[in-house]
Structure formats: structure tokens, C-alpha cells
Structure 1
Amino acid sequence: MRRDKAALLRITGFGAAALLFSVLVIAVRVRWLPLESVDRGVADGLNRLVAPSEFLVNLMGGISRLGSFGVLAWLVVIAATVLLVRRQYRLTGFLLATALGGLVLDPALKLAVGRLRPVVEQPVAHGGGNSFPSGHSLNSFICYAALVLVFLPALEARWRRPLLIAVGAVVALIGFSRLALGVHFLSDVVGGWSLAVAWVGLCAAAFELWRYEHGRRVTEPLSEGLEPEAAEDLHPTAPHQHEPERAGHGRAWVVAGLGVAWVLTFGALVALGIPLAHYRDGNGNLLGDRAIPHWFAEHRADALGRITLVGSEVGNTHAILAIGLVVGAVALALVRRWRPVVFLVTVMFGELSLFLASAAIVGRSRPDVENMDGPMPTSSYPSGHVAATICIWATAAVLVMPRTRAWWRWLFVAAAVVMPLWVAVSRMYRGMHHPTDILGSCVLAALWVFAAWWLLRPNHDLVEEPAPARARPSVQAATA
């Protein structure tokens, strides 16, 4: 009886949300004067409050990005990757279908309603397309709610209500930020939220009906998640033996060791880079620093230009971040230990900080040939593209090689060699780097990856407990 009453309340709430959205669509289309008056008053009042403060503008912009397509898409991709590896196919389908629904509803309704964006006295942000409903409000509610419903069983009961409150606060702040930035009216945000409630409710109801048709009990999604039986597989890590040698002073030693390794690596980079930057203003012919870029510049061709453009792009920040997110998600889903993820994050953030710090100190000029990629904000030494490419693929190889005997593990070793070579040749071909810039990147990657591997021991789980006790699914089981 209690479950029936709760289900009835949920259906009533979803229906009310759908009704509210329908009323708002009609009111916006007919330009109902009271609604437009409230919308305009809120937009103007917030603009007068926020626009004069650079801090508030930046704060609202940062909050708004939490509801952007880039952030939400990666959250969904990472979560879906974990679910697929853990063989939770039904939850993967729910998550993807719910998120894709928002991508369909948002642009379609914007075109159908055709409402223009607010025009405020002091514009501080720009929004593309029409105004109703707010895409950030709609999609942030949908994605964050879907993620909560999927992963709620992994949390202890006492943490579930605080999580719901925290996620609700984030969604509310995202909606408010769109008002504060002057890119949406109040009714746009409320419309996005009401449509999101109706859509998530419909998707959750469909999932519940599927469970009922297959003889499973009806759940209470807001208190126990969509699939309580999947709790064990949804936990980020599996229960395993504690590691006393890493507790207390052990962890402090690792942090201190990483700090020492960072300083020594930085010192090696600067010691190598400063003489190169000062030798004939950075364009001397030491190790072909002048001859090789000039040879590439004299032998450029359209086909090679396209190939090297791709080679350059696969080493840029966005591509490396994308690869790192996928590698981290797969590592956590398969290994069910935090250590490999910590290793990956340490390597990549260490590489980025070492690159930026050494580039700022050395300040080497680019090769004196035509630059095919335009001016760059950092110095030529070392190559951040090459260093990041070496680090990400070397990290992947380090994590994969000990965990399987399958033939495809050698593909990661090949990638750790071929991808940096492709990026290095592409960067030199396009006039972005000298050969010794590439050498500096190799020094950075070799020293830092080795230090992180030695200190963090990312594959320690292979020896901390017997093979049969390792959590499912494992790479060994998948490739046996």
C-alpha cells in the first residue's frame, strides 16, 4: 500500500510538471503580459546586480559551465563506460536514452517556440539560438538526475538524501546562473526544469514497468535507485585488503617523493632548455634544430599538411583529456582500485605543470620558418603535445601490459611508440618545434612517468591478494 501511494505521488508530480511546462509554452507563445513583466523585471534586476562585478560574472560563468554540453557529455560518457564494463546494460540504456532525450527536446522546442533571448542594459554573456526552454537547465537536470538514479544504490542509505540535496542545489545554481548572466528569462529556466522532471519521470517509469514485466519488485527510485540489485557492481571499487604500508607516514612519503621528483625533473628540463634557448636565439643548428624544420618547410604538400594537422590535433589538450578520461573510466571499472586512476591523474597533471613551468622559464622562440598553426602562447621548449602524448599512452601501456596475456596488449605498446612519433613529426613539419624541443619532452615524460610508477605502484593490486579473489569483471577473465 505504501509503495502504491508513493508511485501515485510520483506520477502526480510528473503530470503536474508536464502541465506546468504546457502552460508556460502557451503563455510564452501568446506573450502573456504578466509573465513577460515578471521575466523582464527579473532579467533587468539581476543584470544591474551582477554586471558591475567581475567576480560575480566569473562565478556565474563557472557555475554555468557545469551545465554545458561538454561537461554533461563527458559525465555521461564516463558513467556509460563504467556501466558497460561492469555489464550493467539496462542501466546504460536508461542513462543514454534519458540524456539523448534532452538533446532532442531542447533544440526542437527552441525552434518551435521561437522566443528571442533577453536584451539587457549591460550584456556580460552570449547565448546562441532561441531562449525557451533553457538548455542548460533542462539538460543539467536530466543528466544529473539520471546519474543519481543509476548510481544511488552504490551509496550507503545515510548518504543518499544529502546527495539528492547536493545535486538539487547544483541544478538550481546552474539555472540561476543563466538568469544572472542575462541569457535566459525566469520562465525559460522554470520551463526547462518542468520539462526535465516530466522526461526523467517518464524514463524512470518505463524502467520500472520493464522490471515489473520481468518479475522484479517495484522500487522507490529516489530512495534506493533504479536497480538496487546492482549495488555491488556500481561501487567504484571492490572490497580488498587494506595496505598498512601506505597508511599514515606511507602516504606522506609518496607525496613527498612526488614533490622531490617534480623538482628534479623541472631542474633537468630547465638545465637542458636554457642553453638551447640562448644558443643563436634558440635557432642554432644543434642536433638539426635549424636544418630539420627548414627541410620540412621546403617539402610541404597538401596531403602531408592534412596528415600532420591530424597528428598535431591528437596531441592537443582536448584530445589528451578525452583519452585520459576514457582510460581512467575503463581502468576504474575493470580493476576496481583507485590506485591506477591516481597514477593516471598524477602523471597527466604532473606533465601539464612541468610543461607550463619549464616553458615559462626557458622561453625559447619557435623555429624561424612559416608557422602553419599560428602564434602560440607558450614557448617552443618543450613540446607539450609530445610530452602529453607520451605520458598518456605510456600510462595506458603500464596499466594494461601486466593485466592480460592477450595479443592486443601489444597495441598499447605500439601506440606508446607510434603516437608520439606521429605527433613529433607533425609538430616539426608544421614549424612548431625544433628537434631538441622533442628531446626535452622525452626527458620530461621519461623521468616523470618512471617516478610516478615507482612511487604509486599502479599495479600493486596484482600482488596484494590472490588472483581468484580479484573483483569481477577482470581483464584476466575477459581474455582467458
Structure 2
Amino acid sequence: MVTEQQDRTAAREPVRGKPLAHFAERSVLGLFVVLALGLGFGILLLLVRGHWGPLQRLDSGVADGLNRLVSTRPAVVDALEFVARAGGRPIMMWLVTIAVVAMLIRRRFRLAIYLVVTGVGALLMDPSLKALIARLRPVVDIPVASAPGNSFPSGHALGSMIVYGALLLVFLPAVSARHRKWFITVMAMIVVAIGITRISLGVHYVSDVLAGWMLGAAWLGVTAYAFRVWRREIGRPEVPLEDGLEPEAATDVRPGTPGEHLLPHPWAGAMEILVGWVFVFGLLYVLGWALTDYTEGTWIDRFDDGVPSWLQSMRTPTWDDVSWAWSKAGDTHAILLVSLVFCPLALAVWRHWRMVLYVVLAMVGELTLFLCAAAAVDRPRPPVEQLDGKMPTSSFPSGHIAATMCLYAAIALLLMPRLRQYWWRWIFVVLAVIMPLGVAVSRMYRGMHHPTDVLGAMLLTAGWLTVLYFSVRPNADVRHDA
């Protein structure tokens, strides 16, 4: 009996030793890669500081050639600037912040600390090195973009390499083995595309971008190695880096619930949404047509023009500023910002993609319904001074008010049943009333809308959110959890 057990142990030991040997080899190889990246960055730094002729000619030649290529194509410039935003500081900070909060919600504190440390390193290295090296940005014949500060290294290249690389390492365990290569490829393509846009827009040299990539990859390697040492110190098993930083966290880093259907019956649900959109548009068009063509000289017309005129008589510089600020709460940027904060956090807490789908469809549907109804009705703005100037869309319905109503009402509909044990859930109902009301008063005060335009926004919100509620069924999981 003892002999058999010893034989089994002896037979297993080579199997255990093999992965350990592979791990040691990978660790040494990884260390050499990090050292090579750091050495490459150091050499590039010395060449830039020493004004090495071949490198300067390469940088200037590529900058001039790309400038001639893109400067005569405004559409290409717009596309390059759009891609470059993915490596800008606002997007980078949003991605890291959302990921950190999600990890804290799901109690993966080590991963949250890793993201914070890695991200802070990127924030500190970029301005410090730029101030130390003080390399001026490229000067091209036809500038198509501008950027503040110095040139070396590229902050977009450095930040995108670190942030997208760190997110890749954190979320890799949630990706199935057969899809990991695609996930890594997509992330790499994003980083490469961001770097190329900075050269093409004429705000960085090739050497700036290469330096940003090398320094970012080196910092990523250092922090990843430190995380692996941390795992070893707390008794966690050694794992290959291609499995992610913490394979045990696969369930917690996965955004949603596996196997969840976005729609109960996808084809039928899609048709319900499409038919519902057409129905809501029809209601909006009929109401807008009646208000535009059949209320002239009636009490409705007098009321519609009287309210903006009365509010105009109350204008003061202070109220102008207040109305402008509250009006901004309903514009595209504010609505998008709230959506980009709410959706990832809701997904982190409840793990249901239907919540996100409901909000996304609510906002996409609101935008398309507003644009189509405004173009079809073509109602003129109130006959008062319009503080926001001439707008490209017509007065009916109000897009600001409809967007604010749809967003905050959708959030309240999703959170109220999920937070039924907390009294502060009513805060979201209050927001769903106060935010649209404040935007509505501010838009009428600024002479941009009639009161019946607000009625159109209410009809759009009630009709569209109802259609989506019964098609998407975003709260179906609440009944199962109860």
C-alpha cells in the first residue's frame, strides 16, 4: 500500500515540475523583455536629447509626408481625431475609474489596487518626462490639429498602452480560451491605432510614439510582475500571464451573467420595438401637426406664446446663467456622461445586460424619434429672443427635455424595484421629476420652446419607455430574486 502511494507520488512529480519549469522560463523571458523595453526607451531618449541626425530626418520626413496626405482630406482628419479620443485623458480616466469601482463592488480589492497603481504611474510619468525632456512638437506645413505641452513621449501612446494593457490583464480571465487571441488582438489594434493617429495629425513624431509604447509596456510589465509577487506572498498558485492576473476572479470580472438573453424572444422583441417606434412617431407627428397648423388664434396658441414671453420679462444676468447651466443638464454631453456612469455601475452591481440595453435603447430611440419628429413637424421657435441662437432643429418636440425625461425615468424604473428595502431609492424618483422640470423651465426661459413642446417630450418619453419596458423586460430578474 505504501509502495503504491509512493509510486503515484513519484509519477506525479515530473508533471508538477514541468509547469514550474515553464513558469520559471516565462518569468525570466518576461524579465528580459521588460529590461529590453526599458533599455530601448533609454536609447531612444538619448538619441532624441542628442539630436541624432538620422532619427531627426526620419521623424521630420514621416511628419511631413503624413501631413501632405491627410491635410487635404477633412473626413480623414475627423476620423483620426475620433480614434485619438480613445487615448485621451478623459476616456482613460473614465475607463480606469469605472473598472476600479466595479472591482471594489465585486470585492476584488487587489485588482482595484493594481489598476489604481498602474494608472497613477501613467499620470505621473507623462508630464514629468515631457517637462524634463522639453521636446517641441512637430511643425508641419498645414496644421490640422493642436495639442498642449511638449512632445516626447506621446502621452496618448503611453496612456493607451498602460490602460488598455492593464484592463486586458484584469479582464482576460473572463474571456474564453478560444476567444482570448481575438481579445488581445483587438486591444493591441486600439493601442496601435491611437499611436498612428497622433503621428498622422502632426502632433507627435514617430519616436515620440515609439517611446510612449516602450515605456508603457515596461511599466505594465513591472506592475504585472509586482502583482504576481504579491500573489505568491499570499499563497496563491503561480499562473501564466496569458491567463490574466487573477484567473480565480473570472466570475467576478465577467461583466454580466453568462447565457443571459438580451431579449426574451429576440426576433419578436425586435419587431415589437420597431413597431412601437413607428407608433410613437405617429403620435408625435399627429400632435405636432395639429399644434403647428390648427391652433393659430386659439387659446392654445396664445398660451404657447404667452409663457415664453412672460419668462422673457423676468430675465436677469443671474437667471440667464442659472438657466444656461440647467439647460446644459439636458444636452448630449451631460446625458451621455450620466449614461456612461450609470450603465457600467448597474452592470457591476446586478450583472444583467438587459438594464444596459434598456437605457441604451431608450436614449437611441429618443434621439431618433426627436430628430425625425422635428424634421417632419418643422414647428417654428417661440416669437421671443432666443438666448441660445438659431438652432438647426425645429421647436417640437424638445430634444433636451425628452432626453432628460427618458434617462432619469429609465433609471428610476430600473432601480426602484431593486432597492425596495432602502428608503433613499425615492431619490431617483425625485431626480426623474426635478431634472426634466428644471430643463423644461430653463428651455422656455431661454426662448427655445413652447409649453406644448414639453407636452411632446412627455408623450415621447411615456410612449417609448412603455414600448421598451414590455419588449425588453428589464426587471424580469427582480421577480426571480424576490
Per the normalisation by structure 1, the TM-score is 0.89
Letter in 1 for 2:377: V
Q: RMSD in angstroms over aligned alpha carbons?
A: 2.4
Q: What is the CA distance between 1:240 and its match in structure 2?
A: 6.3
* Superposition pairs of residues 301-340 of structure 1, within 5 angstroms: 301-340=316-355
Match of 1:44 in 2: 64
2:208 to 188, 202, 207: 188
Q: What is the CA distance between 1:55 and its match in structure 2?
A: 4.8
Measure, in 1, the Cα distance between the counterparts of 2:158 and 2:363: 33
Q: Does 1:22 align with 2:58?
A: no
Q: Does 1:163 align with 2:166?
A: no
User: Residues 283 and 368 of structure 1 are in contact (CA less than 8 Å); yes or no, is this contact kept in structure 2?
Assistant: no
Q: What is the CA distance between 1:122 and its match in structure 2?
A: 3.3
Measure, in 2, the Cα distance between the counterparts of 1:380 and 1:196: 50
Q: Does 1:9 align with 2:48?
A: no
Measure, in 2, the Cα distance between the counterparts of 1:128 and 1:321: 26
* Superposition pairs of residues 13-92 of structure 1, within 5 angstroms: 13-92=33-112
Q: Please give the per-residue CA displacement for 1:8-51, whole angstroms capped at 9, x wherever unaligned.
A: 22222122222222222222223221210111121122233333
- Count of paired positions: 461
Measure, in 1, the Cα distance between the counterparts of 2:449 and 2:105: 40
Which segment is superposed worse, 328-337 or 341-350? 328-337
1:208 to 201, 214, 228: 228
2:413 to 385, 398, 407: 398
Measure, in 1, the Cα distance between the counterparts of 2:476 and 2:357: 13
Match of 1:172 in 2: 192
* Superposition pairs of residues 450-469 of structure 1, within 5 angstroms: 450-463=466-479, 465=480, 467=482
Q: Unpaired segments of 5 or more residues in structure 1?
A: 468-480
Gap change, CA 1:287 and 1:73, over 3 Å in 2: farther
Letter in 2 for 1:233: D
Match of 1:425 in 2: 441
Q: Unpaired segments of 5 or more residues in structure 2?
A: 1-20
Q: Secondary structure at the match of 2:423?
A: coil
* Superposition pairs of residues 337-416 of structure 1, within 5 angstroms: 337-405=352-420, 406-416=422-432
User: Residues 327 and 442 of structure 2 are in contact (CA less than 8 Å); yes or no, is this contact kept in structure 1?
Assistant: yes
Which segment is superposed worse, 441-450 or 278-287? 278-287
Identity of aligned residues (%): 47
Measure, in 1, the Cα distance between the counterparts of 2:476 and 2:463: 20
Gap change, CA 1:368 and 1:105, over 3 Å in 2: farther
Measure, in 2, the Cα distance between the counterparts of 1:265 and 1:158: 43
Match of 1:296 in 2: 311
Which segment is superposed worse, 232-241 or 201-210? 232-241
User: Residues 285 and 291 of structure 1 are in contact (CA less than 8 Å); yes or no, is this contact kept in structure 2?
Assistant: no
* Superposition pairs of residues 97-246 of structure 1, within 5 angstroms: 97-221=117-241, 223-239=242-258, 246=264
Gap change, CA 1:30 and 1:240, over 3 Å in 2: closer
Letter in 1 for 2:114: F
Q: Secondary structure at the match of 1:124?
A: coil
Letter in 2 for 1:11: L
Measure, in 1, the Cα distance between the counterparts of 2:272 and 2:352: 22
User: Residues 81 and 329 of structure 1 are in contact (CA less than 8 Å); yes or no, is this contact kept in structure 2?
Assistant: no
Measure, in 2, the Cα distance between the counterparts of 1:213 and 1:352: 53
Gap change, CA 1:39 and 1:253, over 3 Å in 2: same
Measure, in 1, the Cα distance between the counterparts of 2:92 and 2:296: 45
The structure with the largest alpha-carbon Rg is 2
Q: What is the CA distance between 1:408 and its match in structure 2?
A: 1.4
